[in-house]
Amino acid sequence: MAVLLFVLLVLCAGLSFGDTPYRWDVCLNGLWDIAYGNDASEYGDRLSWRESKVPSSWNVTTTWAIHPEAASSKVAWHRLRVDIPSSWRGNRVKLMFELLNASHSVRVNGRLLHELPHTMGNLTVDVTEAVAFGGSNEIVVMTKSEVRGRAGILRDVRMLCVPSTSIRYALVTPSVRKGTLSVLAKLDGEGDVELRCRVFDGDQCVLDLGSTRAKLSGSGACELSSPWKNPVLWGYGEYGEAKLYTMRTELLRNGAVIDVKHDRFGFREFYAGGDKFYLNKKPIFLLGDLYTKTRDHTEHPAVAIAFLQRMRDSNINFFRWHTSSVCDYGVWFDAADEVGFLMQPEMIRPFYHGKERLAANHPAVRQMWENYVTTHYNHPSIVSWCVDNESFSVGLTSLANIRKVNLDRMRQYDELISFIRGLDGSRIIEINHNYSLWSFVRMGKFSRENFEVFNIHPYGNILHVINVEQKAVGFKGEVPVLVGEIFAHGKPIDFLQDPLGAYAEQWRIGASYARQIREAKAARHVAGAILCAQTGTGFIGFSGPKSVHFGPWDDFAKVLDDSGKLVGLREFNVLPRWPSLSGPGIKVDHFVGWAYYGGNFGLNLNWFDPSVPMFRKNLVDEQIAESFRELNGGDVGGIPSRRCPEVVVGLGDGGIPFSNGLLWLQDKRYPGELRGVLTDRDGTGWFRLWGAGEYELRYGDRVKELSIKECPVLDMKAGYGYITWVDWGGIDLNRRREELRKPVGKWVFNEQSLGELLKNRDFEYWEHDRQASCWSYASERMEDCTSGRYSGKIVGSTSYVVQRIRMQKGKTYRISADIKKLKGNSHGSIQITAEQYKMLFNKRCEAKEGEWGRVEALHVATGDEFYFYLRNYYMGNDGEVIYDNASAVLVEEAAPQPEPFAPGPFKLSKDGFIRDFLVLGPFPNMGDELNGYQAATTDYLGGEATYQAKFGAKANAVFQPGFYWMPGEYEVRWDQLHSESDRIHLNQIRLEDAVVTGEPPTHVCAYLACDVISPVERDMRLGMGSDDGYVLWLNGEKLGASLTSRAAAKDQEMISGKLKAGRNRLLVKAIQEAGGWQMLIRLLDAQGKPLDNVEIVLDK
């Protein structure tokens, strides 16, 4: 039976707040009704309703989905019923949504008032014409599931009642250089009005900007400005303090106030000058980190404050909100304002019906940016707007690559930036990874004023990439250089089986970050560096070789055998306890209890459980903190000692709670504007205040005075000890406080021991190279998988299902699975690896898309087998593969031993690709500022051009200290490589004797060799595709090279050559910078057709 939510907005005449309210602003977050369907036309009386939290995402794809049918539904309706008093008649009533995702509509009392085929943020819908004043009103919001894990009312939703002539917004612009403060107010309504602005510090007016008059006809704007001699500057440390003032903007008619609005702001100025950034007229180096938002999670002031403390603890002063969708981070900006933290929000063009992104100059994109900028303009923490990420990435710049830039898209972004600059001329506006556009600035095709920062993501050799790109585009330090992303390219090592290797890898990652930061500061004109490091706050880590921890809930996460040895990890969700579901912010039910040390946002940041630490540090944290300390000349510091007060009110009568009621709060320092919250089911209302002071609570005719004498202490302790609790006749708040002090509950997927796991043959679900995690069927079950063994669907680019196995050395096993690819750009596969990810068996299913294929082979055990994978092998983010009947079964019959070496001859593929090579490596590709591709000019064979590769021949690879791989001298040998596809994957070439065994390797190279047997002499062409670079020899002659950083595609270069009759030696040096490592090599005739009558042989 549906839960009918009924809200009574009680707004009585004769309110005793000192001044009559002019506007009411109520947060409607809480429990709404929700119903699911597959088409928007299904809305009606036949829907099945149940409770759901707002805000939240209803199409999350985890095991803790809101409701079981949500994952398979395409549409959801959110419903709330409210009573709107007759006293609001004559005013304008508006609904304000911080974020609706994706295609959506808004109805009030059955009347369609708003509809868009894409996401929209900071949306205001005027619902006045549909409102039934003095009666019940039904609000229905429809959202479609077009973006995985992000559908619904994703941020705060508020109802606003304002006068018919009112203040839409007031934008406050301080100038430290000029010593002035100005206000631009947008007004709605009719007639002659007067605008008056004053600045308050608490209840004291510290600046009067005067007044101005305007004549409105539908809307209009007014501007005021005044000198300000001695404001307290907003910032941190040497730049100021986290000081916030309040702007009181009043609208008057005939000398009487008709509307009032209060906005917090900080007096600060951030700008670029020459090749430096400045904050409050002082140079500042941006010590940054970023977060890539992949799903909606808890976003609440409590979380934000804890997270920013964690960042500042690593000496970080700047945070980039890196995202692939439209996002709003109001609670984060509030928190950053209060602690003196710099931020850059990034907002990417939304998808149209979830398919194609809107053009940058589309009217809807402009509207979205206008909403966003005017909503968040007054946050001093926001120092820059970012309008896109990597849309103009061209690899290492060359004339050919520059020509690949989409000129129409460039023009669209030029127009969009100019539009945003018209809204906000006080902030930097940029595109992340925009450096290639400097060429077009110099050609006059991209506006110089819209290129304020040379933003570059120099994955790989930082100094080399920056140097090459600056020279290529003719950059000479005209603007600051911001290294927008730095990544250490580490991969997790199995700390259970190889703890020393895992410790060494984490030490190396931290050292690599620290080195890259120092290099970036030393590089030409670099004024800031942003890591991809710290957002896994409290993630798995070491402080010493034997001191690994697994986040705040470390003890619960560990699985120990009878002797106390660590044998596994338990993945679990902790169950946050909230003081109330009322008030702003997203409040999730489940929270991931531990994470791998690749990191993702806050997976182990604990803000609510006082029984365990808020977070735990590791080597990476410490090394980054030390490096940033060195660059900053000391700790960044600057976090205030106090936080803004928060109040939880228990509303009711005689212990009976008043559920879903409207509870109002008046700050007596700022009369005329009331803020309210919808009380929770238990009658609690949660307010966040702007500071200590005198307040008044009101519910109906009831009034209660509230005095906050001082702000609570800001410390590194988890829990809700900072909350002020107000008993107003409702639930037992002492009992609630005691509940919140206890350790949190945990929801465990499966608590099997290691022995039970092996016995029961359960699979573990891994996602994106995560450490061994939940021992359960965590992937989606499929109806058409009917065997008694494992069956399920795996979604994603490189997701796994993993089973631990034990095999007897020398015994033969039949490895098999049924696999059906639903979509994706590669294949599903079954694999067996040793304990350090060494591949022992790999078989892909090559069946056509939508058809089942049987993968089966015999495997003679080496005794090292540890993991049995079902793996989506580089499928793309939307790849989907169904697996069924997966098994590894001991067979009694003797199996023939595999031939260790097969010399050929081998045929080319039907499109002329070579699939069989000898391979040797890896060797280092270290480089420096002037020679990034050091491997291209280093001969590791003692005569590359004439070298004859032979299977089993050995060589030495020497890795020097200070780069990506652990230093040392290692023996490598020529091995055979056969590819099942035309694309040669080199990711698993590694140093078997090295402590570090991560995949794919970074900054290395390897040799590929084969002999091409041609019956006749002939002209031919080599079609080369590479990720990243290569050098090519044929019969001792160097035919070509490409020193670039790119993804591999067919025929990226066509190289002419000549085959002699008989044997032709082909040698390729495949050079790897970072990320994927692949080659595509094919032989064509002079007309571009695949060569026939040619064979490939390998030498022993």
**Is-cis flag, bond preceding 458, omega within 30?**
no
- DSSP calls for 587-630: --S-EE----TT--TTTT--SS-TTS-S----HHHHHHHHHHHH
**Is-cis flag, bond preceding 905, omega within 30?**
yes
Surface-to-core class of residue 94, CB atoms within 10 Å of its CB (0-12 exposed, 13-18 middle, 19+ buried): middle
More confident residue, 1050 or 994: 1050
**Is-cis flag, bond preceding 19, omega within 30?**
no
Band the pLDDT of 496: cuts 50, 70, 90.
low
Let me know the angle formed at the C-alpha of 227 by 223 and 232, rounded to the nearest 5 degrees: 110
Number of H helices, E strands in the chain: 12, 68
Residues listed for the chain: 1100
More confident residue, 790 or 78: 78
DSSP-derived pairing of the beta strands 152-153 and 92-101 = antiparallel
Give residue-wise pLDDT tens across range 444-458. Answer: 999 999 999 999 988
Band the pLDDT of 287: cuts 50, 70, 90.
very high
More confident residue, 1060 or 758: 1060
More confident residue, 502 or 198: 198
**pLDDT of res. 412:** 93
HSE-up of residue 650 (Cα within 13 Å, Cβ side) = 20
- DSSP calls for 735-780: HHHHHHHSPPEEEES----HHHHHHHT--EEE-SSPPS--BS--SB
**pLDDT of res. 599:** 37
User: What share of the chain in percent tops pLDDT 90?
Assistant: 50
**pLDDT of res. 762:** 47
Q: Amino acid identity of 903? A: P
pTM: 0.83
Residues 6+ apart with CB under 8 A from 88: 11, 24, 131, 133, 161
Q: Amino acid identity of 605? A: L
More confident residue, 942 or 400: 942
Band the pLDDT of 268: cuts 50, 70, 90.
very high
**pLDDT of res. 510:** 82
pLDDT (mean) for 183-188: 98
Q: Residue 424: what are its φ and ψ, rounded to 5°?
A: -145, 95
Distances (CA, A) of 728 to 337, 517, 529, 703: 31, 54, 50, 10
Let me know the angle formed at the C-alpha of 379 by 375 and 382, rounded to the nearest 5 degrees: 100
Number of Cβ within a 10 Å radius of residue 738: 10
Q: Amino acid identity of 666? A: Q
pLDDT of residue 769 exceeding 70, the answer is no
**pLDDT of res. 382:** 97
Give residue-wise pLDDT tens across range 968-978. Answer: 888 899 999 99
pLDDT of residue 194 exceeding 90, the answer is yes
User: What share of the chain in percent tops pLDDT 70?
Assistant: 83
Give residue-wise pLDDT tens across range 714-765. Answer: 998 999 999 999 999 999 999 999 999 999 887 665 444 444 444 444 454 4
What does pLDDT average to over the chain?
84
**pLDDT of res. 753:** 46
Q: How far apart, in whole angstroms, are the C-alpha atoms of residue 403 and residue 406?
A: 8
Q: For residues 610 and 212, is the Cβ–Cβ distance under 8 A?
A: no
pLDDT (mean) for 796-813: 74
Distances (CA, A) of 293 to 159, 286, 458, 900, 1075: 28, 21, 21, 46, 20
pLDDT (mean) for 636-661: 94
**pLDDT of res. 513:** 81
pLDDT of residue 786 exceeding 70, the answer is no
The structural domains of the chain, ordered by start, are 6-162 (2.60.120.260), 749-890 (2.60.120.260), 906-1097 (2.60.120)
Band the pLDDT of 865: cuts 50, 70, 90.
confident
For the ranges 69-78, 319-328, 926-935, the lowest mean pLDDT is seen at 926-935
DSSP collapsed to 3 states, 902-955: CCCCEECCCCCECCEEEEEEEEECCCCCCCCCHHHHCCCCCCHHHCCCCCCCEE
SS3 415: helix
**pLDDT of res. 1092:** 85
pLDDT of residue 993 exceeding 80, the answer is no
For the ranges 99-113, 261-275, 620-634, 670-684, the lowest mean pLDDT is seen at 620-634
pLDDT (mean) for 509-523: 83
DSSP collapsed to 3 states, 956-1019: EEEECCCCCCCCEEEEEECEEEECCCCCEECCCCCCCCCCCCCCCCCCEEEEEEEEEEECCCEE
**pLDDT of res. 1013:** 97
For the ranges 153-162, 413-422, 626-635, the lowest mean pLDDT is seen at 626-635
Q: Amino acid identity of 790? A: Y
* Phi and psi based region of residue 109 (left: phi greater than 0; alpha: psi -120 to 50; beta: remaining): left
Band the pLDDT of 921: cuts 50, 70, 90.
very high
What is the helix (H) or strand (E) element at residue 174, kind and residue range? strand 166-175
Which value, in Å, is the radius of gyration of the alpha carbons in the chain?
32
Q: For residues 927 and 933, is the Cβ–Cβ distance under 8 A?
A: yes
- DSSP calls for 504-559: HHHHHHHHHHHHHHHHHHHSTTEEEEEES-TTSTT-SEESSTT-EE-STTHHHHEE
More confident residue, 851 or 72: 851
pLDDT of residue 18 exceeding 50, the answer is no
More confident residue, 332 or 392: 332
Give residue-wise pLDDT tens across range 246-256. Answer: 999 999 999 99
More confident residue, 890 or 766: 890
pLDDT (mean) for 1035-1051: 89
pLDDT (mean) for 869-893: 74
